[in-house]
Structure 1
Amino acid sequence: MGVIYIGDRETGKTSLALELANPSSNNYVKVLSPPYSQLKALLWDDVAGRTRGTSGDQATYNETLEIEVFLSTRRKTIYTDWIDTPGEIWRASWQKNNPDKWANFVETAHSSQGVILVVPPYREIIRQDMGINSDDFITQQQWVRRFDNWVDFFRYKCPNVKHIALCLNKADLLQGIDLKQEAQKLAFHPHSSRMNWNQRNDYIFKRFFRPVRSHIAQLNQYTSGLTVRCFITSIYNRDLLELPWIYLGIYLK
């Protein structure tokens, strides 16, 4: 099963992937291989005290992840191509200057069945406390315009994709959000979840993704057999972090 894992710069893609592999906190998703120590050595910068961004010198960081998802009646192991892209790859200038690398990435996207797209929160929904600088985030208008490009990418570069998980990351920074309470509503439990997948999607879509409702409608209209689901994620809550992977584990063949 091919899954591409993409997003713009500074959206927290690397931090999410590293935390997913953390063996001390897994619930229903476990990264079996490579080991957490190997990923941390590759992705964590001890001096800076943070994850390293994917180098703009390469089109993709490609690692085969063996992920075990605990479902309601069984365990399912997913062999996933983790394709983490540097933010620069989405710039037209980068694509023009690196045609071979761009072509290789497009080839990978072309054959993928699933996509996890990590997007940042937009400025208007960021909390105005705790020293958070809202200027570090794009405006809602810019955020919506960025989705024009994502729609084109999915429509024309990902013809075989069946499931797209749109992940609004850094949910801990959102106005009016109690991370623990949101996780209690949305969390997956094999026999006692408070919401099903459609209810989770509707709840998150209505709260955070309404500005791009026309974009999501376009994807559903023009791509046969495609399902788009909305999620919120944070490295500070394991239940929310695991949800998109559980979803893909259930529905991707």
Structure 2
Amino acid sequence: MSVIIIGNRSVGKTSMIVALAKGTQNIQVIRPDANSLIERFSNPETGQLAGTFEVKDPISLSLRINLSSGKGQEFEVRWIDTPGEYWSNPKQRDSNPEQWQKLTEIVSKSKSILLLLPPYLYRSRSVKLEEGKEPEELDSETWKKELKNWLAFLRKNCPKLQHLLIAIHKADLFSNDLDKDEKNWQYNPDKLFRWSDYDDHIRKTYFDLAYDIIREHNSQPPYISPQFFITTIHKPNLLELPWVYLGSYLAHDYNF
């Protein structure tokens, strides 16, 4: 299975995977280990994670996910990181047509896509910014426009798409309710997790301003309704939920 992680520049695609590799309560990345991922995606001069600047070959990840079906199950995932500049900057696509074609071909074959969106400015911030840097701030109208453009791109270019997950990443930068959400929606493989209730809560609480855009998307072919999440590397219980969600399908269909 290939999981494509897409999103604009600096949204946190690489840091999400590196944080996941360090382990959460219900997910363990068996191979490669966190240290090798950090080394691979770090700036050798600063030691900090570096951005993705070109289309990379797929990386095989071995995940062990605790599911309600019993003991942890292992899955092989082909993770493809993508450079945000190609999505957010048309000039970058025009200057590198071969890379852009390679990227669109990869995405067109995917059955599983995780779209990471930046936070938007309509809630107050409550924690310090990651690495002390200001994020690229988006007002709500610009955020809505970008979401609409993403959904249109996916409908046009992803004919094999079966599962679309949309997460507002770096959610610690704009929400004061993450502690409550993490407590209320912590995944426990020994208890029934109501994905539909979680999706309804996230959609109404964090995606309410995009209701018309989402409704319009759901009414058009190929009729793939997204599943919504909020994620941050600072809340492992929230960070793991998109992957546990995918794992629940992997358990039933290894060709997913």
TM-score between the two structures when normalised by the length of structure 2:
0.88
2:41 matched residue in structure 1: 43
Distance 1:232 1:27, change over 3 A: same
Q: 1:145 to 1:19 in 2, by over 3 A?
A: same
Report the Cα offset of residue 251 of structure 1.
2.2
Cα deviation digits, residues 127-149 of structure 1 (max 9, x gap): 27758887841111110110121
CA distance in 2, matches of 1:32, 1:159: 31
1:86 partnered with 2:74: no
Q: Which moved more, 1:83-92 or 1:109-118?
A: 83-92
Equivalent residue, structure 1, for 2:253:
none
Q: 1:126 to 1:51 in 2, by over 3 A?
A: farther
1:52 and 1:134 map into 2 onto residues whose CA distance is 16
Q: What are the equivalent positions in structure 2 for 1:223-234 lying under 5 Å apart? A: 223-224=221-222, 226-234=224-232
Q: Partners in 2 of 1:130 and 1:81 — Cα distance?
A: 33
CA distance in 1, matches of 2:20, 2:78: 15
Q: Tell me what 2:138 maps to.
A: 138
Give SS of 1:211's match.
Answer: helix
Amino acid at match of 1:210: D
Q: Contact conserved, 1:151 with 1:218, CA < 8 A, in 2?
A: no
- Shift in CA distance, 78/219, structure 1 to aligned 2, threshold 3 Å: farther
Alpha-carbon distance in structure 2 between the residues aligned to 1:62 and 1:163: 19
Kindly tell me the number of residue pairs found equivalent between the two proteins: 247
CA shift, 1:37, in A, is 1.6
Residue 59 (1) aligns with residue 73 (2)? no
Distance 2:245 2:128 in 1: 33
Q: Decide whether aligned partners of structure 1 residues 29 and 129 sit closer, same or farther in structure 2, where only a CA change above 3 A counts.
A: closer
**Residue 8 (structure 1) shift:** 0.6
Q: Does 1:98 align with 2:96?
A: yes
Q: Does 1:68 align with 2:64?
A: yes
Q: Corresponding residue for 1:152?
A: 152
Which deviates more from structure 2 when the two are superposed, residues 182-191 or residues 69-78? 69-78
Secondary structure of residue in 2 paired with 1:80: strand
Q: Which amino acid aligns with 1:79?
A: E
Shift of the alpha carbon at 1:15?
Answer: 1.3
Cα-to-partner distance string for 1:14-65 (whole Å, 9 max, x where unaligned): 111100001xx4211111111222101112346545311112xx13463121
Aligned to 2:237: 239
CA contact (8 A) 1:61 1:85 kept: no
> Does the CA contact (< 8 Å) of 1:118 and 1:169 recur in 2?
yes
Which amino acid is 1:66 matched to?
S
Q: Calculate percent identity across the aligned residue pairs.
A: 30
Between the aligned partners of 2:180 and 2:55, the Cα distance in structure 1 is 38
The residue matched to 1:50 in structure 2 has which SS? coil
CA contact (8 A) 1:60 1:83 kept: yes
Residues in 2 aligned to 1:216 and 1:61: alpha-carbon distance in whole angstroms: 32
2:187 aligned residue? 188
Let me know the Cα RMSD of the aligned residues.
Answer: 2.2
Check whether the contact 1:32–1:67 (CA below 8 A) recurs between aligned residues: yes
Q: Given that residues 59 and 89 in structure 1 are in contact (C-alpha distance below 8 angstroms), is that contact kept between their aligned partners in structure 2?
A: no
Counterpart of 1:199 in structure 2: which amino acid? D
What is the TM-score normalised by the length of structure 1?
0.88
How far, CA to CA, are the matches of 2:170 and 2:179 in structure 1?
14
Letter in 1 for 2:237: D
C-alpha spacing 1:61/1:14, structure 2 compared with 1 (3 Å) = farther
Q: In proportion to residue count, which structure has more strand? A: 1
